[in-house]
Amino acid sequence: MTIVDVSSVHTFDQRGGRMRRLIVFLTAVVVGITGNELARAHDPDEPVLEVPEVAVEGERPVAASSQQFIPDDEIVLQPQGRPAQVLRLIPGFLAVEHSGGAGKADQYFLRGFDADHGTDVGFFLDGMPINLRAHAHGQGYTDLNFIIPETIEGVDVHKGSYLPEYGDFVTAGAVNFRTRDVVKEGVIQGMGGEFSTQRYLLMFSPTKERVRTLFAAEGFYTNGPYLDNNQYHRTNLLGKVTTNLTGRDELSLKATFLHSRWDGSGEIPFRAVSTGLLDRFGAVNPYEGGNTLRTTGHANYHYDTTTGGQLFANAYGQYYRLDLFTDFTFFLNDPVNGDGFAQFDRRVVYGGDIGYKQRGTILGMPAIGTVGFQTRVDDVHTKLGAQTLRIPAGTTIDSDSVTVSYSPFVKAEVQPLPWVRFSGGVRGEFFTFDVSNRCATCPEQPVGRKGSGIVLPKMSMILGPWARTEFFINYGEGFHSNDARSAVTIGASPLARARSYEVGVRSRPWGPQNLELIATLWRLDLKSELLFVGDEGTTEIRGATRRQGVEVAARGQVWGPLYVNGSFTWTHAEFHNGDAIPLAPEYTAYGAAILKWPEGLTSQLQVTYLGVRPLIEDRSIKSPSWVTFDLSERYRIPVKLPHGRLEAFLFVQNLLNTQWEQAIFAFESRLRNEATGVEDIHFVPGNPRTFMGGLAWYF
């Protein structure tokens, strides 16, 4: 007699559910056939081999309606050149160029946050943190340009602060880029386009069995649409080795390298463009720009026990440097030499985590328990001073800082009934900040040592599914750390607590293979706000804020070869006194239609919308809204080759040639021909219609 009990199959991962159901089905078929063959092969009087019960268990996501996984087939359809382009696939998430040059970190918007370069959104690569603490240009600075998009197998998105595994900067949410272990086909690719844009890619896996390897190299260059060429050079390398030391473990070693340099056109004043004094793609100070280098090493290891447990351990190290030359206010403070300033950052970042996860049952209920510990060290040297034509003209800040964090966490998941699941835990954070001043002639700077701690509870409840519909209730507390130089000052709050609340629903009313509908209602309270200060290019700590909003999204197969992904978000963000939070988006929308034609052609049409935003607290100055369209085409060329295949691709960005603004601010500046400073809108123009195309050989 053959027994296959699928009632004990607990699906903890919606995306992987279909695969697990297939495994269960194939197991049943194989076991059933084996049992029948044994029965026929044995004498009828001999006992038939009894096959024991088969139970397949998997993990569901941590249960929030806003949680999302972005697959690689959507990533490859994004216009190439900016890895941050993939972020707009996340409902309510936008990333724009910040200073008229592609080499600098993007400006990120999510859930009513102008997160600047990453202050309130945590970014990770295979679990390794990307945000940089106590950065010379802004707390949490996150440059994603060291990521080669084709090496990513998918992106995990977790909004809110509901996961004990994530800590610093995860207030609005967390984004984890997952790299591939191997590629089925190697690829050599070349791309060219307007504004002298070029991109070259090599990616291949020499070994794919016991030792799985992945190597990738990228070269990128563009002048951009600006009158003063960007001359943006970028070189990226990635190497990854994955193997199994025993039959129950996996070890992965990965290294990356980035080097880039660029010239920037900066944020230009609206008054100069509207009067014809300056072209829309011109520059007041064409000597902005910079160069950066980042190299990382990362090891991931896990061992699966015979009793449903898993031991995991990860370690990483990073070296980083940035030379950044900017000029926001032109001649406001120094009418002779100008207000240009230089920011230099040199750092080593290292850390890791270790923990244990156990699957089992509690009083007959499926359960998973996890205990872990994370630590991280940022050893930083930052320097800030005036510059003219990139020539240093004095130093105002020259300091060393060491920020160390220790983070234990526990997590439990349990399913007491088929239609109820609970997930929750608690995370502790303890920080030490140590700051010293290296400049005896500089203005007085913060120095000293300080410690701070915080305890963060998390909890989620999931109801369903009923008629392929689940309901979610979530609460969690997160935080962002403040710059070490601010943290050591008297009366400062080194760790800013955030409380997140969320209810939502996910449904596939037309079947598991079809369109998924998502709706989420959320609120987020933040203890202290970091606000951009335009005349200094820095941030300052402000008061408590509240953000709340609604997200609706739909994604999946509509009919046959047609796939859609769309979202609309509304957010209300303000300080507790009723003032607006400058730059916080109110309305955002994104839509994409992907059509897989016969004969190997795939088309995608995308539309991105950002609504009106207040630029100052009293809402008297607002940014204009904008909407852009992008077109992507990929065609598998029906040419027989001795080895491999060819694919052609075309990207058209800003298909309708819309005039739009990327980064936009309101602050006081002064042009050379002006007697005093003028309060004005300053902006980075969005790219005009741009064509890019290329050819890829898969081998």
HSE (CB half, 13 Å, CA atoms) of 333? 11
Coil, helix or strand at residue 322: strand
Whether the upstream peptide bond of residue 465 has omega within 30° of 0, thus cis, is yes
Pairing of strands 562-575, 661-669: unpaired
* Alpha-carbon gap, residue 108 to 131, rounded angstroms: 12
Q: Under a CB-based contact definition with an 8 Å cutoff, are residues 293 and 320 in contact?
A: yes
419 in the same domain as 396: yes
The 8-class DSSP code of residue 600 comes to G
53 shares its domain with 79:
no
Domain-located, residue 114: yes
Are residue 181 and residue 258 in the same domain, yes or no? yes
In a domain, 467, yes or no: yes
Rounded-to-integer distance, Cα 268 and Cα 682, Å: 5
- Give yes or no: residues 608 and 485 share one domain: yes
Residue 305 DSSP class: -
The first and second tokens of residue 100, run together, are 């008229």
| Contact (Cβ atoms closer than 8 angstroms) between residue 24 and residue 55 | no
| 120 and 1 fall within a common domain | no
3-class secondary structure, 224? coil
For residue 289, give the amino acid letter. Answer: G
Q: Is residue 598 part of a domain?
A: yes
pLDDT at site 61: 56
Q: Computed over its alpha carbons, how large is the radius of gyration of the chain?
A: 27
Q: What is the pLDDT of residue 530?
A: 57
Instruction: Judge if 22 and 144 occupy the same domain.
Output: no
Query: What's the one-letter identity of residue 99?
Result: S
Strands in 133-210 per DSSP E: 152-159, 173-179, 187-193, 197-204
Task: Single out the residue of 354, 326, 352, 353 nearest to residue 340, CA to CA.
Answer: 326
Angle (CA) 175 181 185, round 5°: 115
Number of residues assigned to the chain: 699
Which of 58, 76, 92 is a domain's end point? Answer: 58
Q: Does residue 53 belong to any structural domain of this protein?
A: yes
Same domain, 47 and 181: no
For 204, the domain range is: 68-698
Write down the pLDDT at residue 699. Answer: 95
Q: What three-state secondary structure class fits 23? A: helix
CA within 13 Å, CB half, 563: 13
99 and 4 within one domain: no
DSSP 3-state of 428: strand
Domain boundary among 14, 37, 58: 58
Task: Answer yes or no: do 105 and 32 share one domain.
Answer: no
Q: Is residue 63 part of a domain?
A: no
Residue 583 DSSP symbol: T
Last residue of a domain, one of 34, 58, 82: 58
* Helical residues (DSSP H) of 216-318, grouped into ranges: 270-274
Average pLDDT of adjacent 10-residue blocks, the chain of 699 residues: 34 38 35 34 39 42 83 89 90 89 89 92 98 95 96 96 96 97 97 97 96 98 95 97 96 98 95 96 95 98 97 98 96 95 97 98 95 98 95 92 98 96 97 95 89 98 95 97 91 92 96 93 87 48 90 94 97 95 95 94 97 96 97 94 94 97 94 96 96 97
Answer for the pair 374, 353: CB distance below 8 angstroms, yes or no: yes
User: Among candidates 48, 157, 59, 167, which has minimal Cα distance to 111?
Assistant: 157
Rounded Cα distance, 473 and 470, in Å: 10
CA-wise closest residue to 664 among 622, 697, 607, 630: 622
Question: How many domains is the chain partitioned into structurally?
Answer: 2
Amino acid making up residue 247: G
How far is the first Cα of the chain from the last one, in angstroms, to the nearest whole number?
Answer: 48
pLDDT for residue 529: 67
The answer to whether 266 and 245 are in contact (CB under 8 A) is no
In a domain, 203, yes or no: yes
Is residue 289 located within the same domain as residue 394? yes
Which residue in the block uniquely carries the two structure tokens 């609309």?
A: 568
482 domain residue, yes or no:
yes
Per DSSP (E only), the strands in 305-419 are: 309-326, 341-362, 365-388, 391-392, 397-417
The secondary structure element, H or E, covering residue 35 is helix 14-41
Q: Which residues have a Cβ under 8 Å from the Cβ of 478 and sit 6 or more positions away? A: 160, 161, 166, 167, 170, 171, 456, 497, 498, 500
Q: Looking at the structure, tell me whether residues 531 and 463 fall in a common domain.
A: yes
Q: Do 92 and 4 share a domain, yes or no?
A: no
Cα 224 from chain centroid? 24
CATH code at position 598 = 2.40.170.20
CB-based contacts of 364, cutoff 8 Å, min separation 6:
none
Report yes or no on 572 lying in a domain: yes
